[in-house]
Amino acid sequence: MLLETLQSIEYSHAFVMMRASSWFFPVIAGCHLLGLALIGGAVLVVDLRLLGLGLSPQPVARLARDAQRWMLISLAVMVPTGLLMFLSTATKCYFLTAFWIKVTSLLVALTFTFTLRRRAIAEDKNGPPRAQGRAVALISLALWSSVAICGRLIGFY
């Protein structure tokens, strides 16, 4: 049932036209990559601070508050562009393990970021990095890296 639905969407007039266009898909993919760069920077700057590797004079909570704006902007760019890219190649994605790992990792990363990571940031008191903050940062980096790596792998197939 899901495969048939995805096939009908992928082969709808709009997505056939999107794939046929020499510029539409590359523009969508470019916007998606810009969103990836934004979210990567927003995640990286806070996680590196939790690890004690950067911006030490900045309180983690303040840094995270400033970075969250960029994270939300990037999600507002990446979700619709990612959905368009997915729907234009839905049948291919349906059969790719990398796609399903990416989607699962994305859901886990978002949940982790807006729950456990947020709590660890709030509890950090701008002293030396705590073990809990370091563990949260490493998990966050691993989750977001898996989203990016699997997203890149999709392009190879």
At 54 the three-state DSSP class reads: coil
Confidence of residue 60 (pLDDT cuts 50, 70, 90): confident
pLDDT at residue 127 tops 70: no
- The more confident residue out of 125 and 93 is 93
End-to-end CA distance of the chain: 23
Q: Each residue of 78-110: pLDDT tens digit?
A: 999 999 999 988 999 999 999 999 999 999 999
Confidence of residue 126 (pLDDT cuts 50, 70, 90): low
Q: How far is CA 152 from the centre of its chain?
A: 12
Query: Residue 52: what are its φ and ψ, rounded to 5°?
Result: 80, 25
Confidence of residue 25 (pLDDT cuts 50, 70, 90): confident
Give every CB contact of residue 2 below 8 A, 6+ residues apart in sequence: 94
What pLDDT shows up at residue 128? 60
* Radius of gyration (C-alpha) of the chain in whole angstroms: 18
pLDDT at residue 157 tops 80: no
**What would the 3-class secondary structure string for 70-105 be?**
HHHHHHHHHHHHHHHHHHHCHHHHHCCHHHHHHHHH
Query: Mean pLDDT across the stretch 37-59?
Result: 87
What pLDDT shows up at residue 37? 93
Q: Each residue of 34-45: pLDDT tens digit?
A: 999 999 999 999
Neighbours of 1 (CB within 10 A): 5
pLDDT at residue 112 tops 90: yes
| Cβ–Cβ < 8 Å for 81, 31 | yes
Tell me what the pLDDT averaged over the chain comes to. Answer: 90
pLDDT at residue 129 tops 70: no
DSSP assignment of 101-149: HHHHHHHHHHHHIIIIIHHHHHH--SSSPPHHHHHHHHHHHHHHHHHHH
**What does the block give as tokens for 96?**
């790719």
